[in-house]
Chains A and B, each alone.
Chain A
Amino acid sequence: MIIISPYAQKLRNGKPNPKNYPFWKQVIQSIDEEIIQVGVEGEEQLVDDFRKNLSLSELCLLLHKCRTWVSCDSFFQHLAWQQEKKGIVLWSVSNPAIFGHDININLLKSKDCLAPNQFLWWEDTPFDPEKFVSPEEVIYNIKNFK
Chain B
Amino acid sequence: MSSALVAPPESKHPVEPRVNYLNATYGVKSWLLTRDHKRIALLYLASITFFFFLGGLFALLIRLELLTPAGDLVQSQTYNKLFTMHGVIMVFFFLIPSIPAVLGNFLIPMMIGAKDLAFPRLNLLSWYIYMVGATFTLWAVVHGGVDTGWTFYTPYSTASSNTHVIATAVGIFITGFSSILTGLNFIVTIHTMRAPGLTWFRLPLFVWSHYATSLIFVLATPVIAVTLLMVAVERLFHLGIFDPRLGGDPILFQHLFWFYSHPAVYIMVLPAMGVVSELVTTFSRKNIFGYKFVAFASIGIAVLGFLVWGHHMFVSGQSVYAGMIFSLLSFLVAIPSAVKVFNWTATMYKGSISYRTPMLYAFGFIGLFTIGGLTGLFLATLGVDVHVHDTYFIVAHFHYIMVGGAIMGYLGGIHYWWPKISGKLYPEAWARFAALVIFLGFNLTFFPQFILGYLGMPRRYHAYPPEFQVLNVMSTAGASILGAGYLMPMVYLVWSMRYGKAAPANPWGSTGLEWDTPSPPPTENFAVTPVVTDEPYHYSPGEVEIVG
- Is B a genuine binding partner of A? no
Report which A residues bind B (CB closer than 8 A): none
By a beta-carbon cutoff of 8 Å, the part of chain B in contact with chain A is none
